[in-house]
Amino acid sequence: MKVAILGAGAWGTALGVLLASKGIPTALLARRKEQAEALRAHRENKDYLPGVALPAYLFPTSDPEEALSGAEFAVVALPSKALEEALEGLPPAPWYLSATKGLFFREGGLRTASQVIGALTGRPVAALSGPNHAEEVARFLPTASVAAGPEALAQRVQELFSGPTFRVYTSRDLRGVELGGALKNVLALAAGMVDGLRLGDNAKAALLTRGLREMVRFGTALGGEEATFYGLSGLGDLLATAYSLHSRNRGAGERLVRGEARERLEDRGVVEGLYAVKALRAWQEETGTELPIAKAVYQVVYEGLDPLRALSALMAREPKAE
């Protein structure tokens, strides 16, 4: 049995380390030949996950045929902005596991990563999501995650990835699991703005609590189950992303309000919240759904609204019951 991981960034490498450490032959597909050669030579991903040794059963390559030949399934661990281009022309896998937390606004409305993967490949897709920073997962610090999708696929993911430090639960609510993982990146941008403005713990707690309510409103409107958003892929992932020093989304929000240009926010890696909030804003305008925090984040990031004015607008909204 063999697994192929598409994407040799931090998260793809961390998932590869998990599988390979269990003796599962795992191909790690890098998009650039030079990166694959460096991974093989140093047995370490110095660009994205420094200090983590690659297990013997992890095989870096830049050859899609080599990576996918004989693979039971492919793990998609690609940035959302590169997902469609990267999948086009690849040899097919029997089924796919999405480890990409993104939103796509296409004709007909919002799409999750699993929907995009399914449309491109015509194959069954499951998803893996939770409070899982690659830097900690790859160093075998304890965490938990949710495998969602068709029951047989979710159980197979649970079987393969579960270990002493990585506990996997299953869920049939693929929609809810993915929507929570995408929206939390937008809320983490807002949390970073609170940190950057030094508004305090009370403000951050209030923001995230109301943000969770916004996540539930958004997610259930698109078919997710409410209980899912209070679980690992919703609240759990939100807390990890909004508070961790590892979080690129939280860090990007902090850097933005301290004067760094939006164009430089991805110098340290992809910031998924920047793309998710654009998709959310387009969906808001199409449907008229009220998502005040997401709207404020979009205005700060893309329209140059002063973050303190955005906060004032949120605080001045009409009083209402919780």
Q: Domain 182-315 is of which CATH architecture?
A: Orthogonal Bundle (1.10)
Whole-angstrom Cα distance, residue 58 to residue 54?
A: 6
The pTM (predicted TM-score) of the whole model is: 0.94
Round to the nearest angstrom and report the end-to-end CA distance of the chain. 51
Q: Does residue 33 have an active-site annotation?
A: no
Whole-angstrom Cα distance, residue 218 to residue 185?
A: 14
Kindly name the residue from 101, 184, 204, 295 that is annotated as catalytic.
184
Determine phi and psi for 65, rounding to 5 degrees.
-65, -45
Quick one: CA dihedral 203, 206, 207, 208, positive or negative? positive
Domain definitions of the chain by residue range = 3-172, 182-315
Q: Domain 3-172 is of which CATH architecture?
A: 3-Layer(aba) Sandwich (3.40)
Closest CA to 52 of 139, 133, 136: 139
Q: Where are the alpha helices (DSSP H) in 222-271?
A: 237-243, 248-257
What is the residue-level pLDDT of the chain in tens, covering all 322 positions?
799 999 999 999 999 999 999 999 999 999 999 999 999 999 999 999 999 999 999 999 999 999 999 999 999 999 999 999 999 989 999 999 999 999 998 876 899 999 999 999 999 999 999 999 999 999 999 999 999 999 999 999 999 999 999 999 999 999 999 999 999 999 999 999 999 999 999 999 999 999 999 999 999 999 999 999 999 999 999 999 999 999 999 999 999 999 999 999 998 789 999 999 999 999 988 888 889 999 999 999 999 999 999 999 998 888 888 8
DSSP string, 93-130: -SSEEE----EEEETTEEEEHHHHHHHHH-S-EEEEES
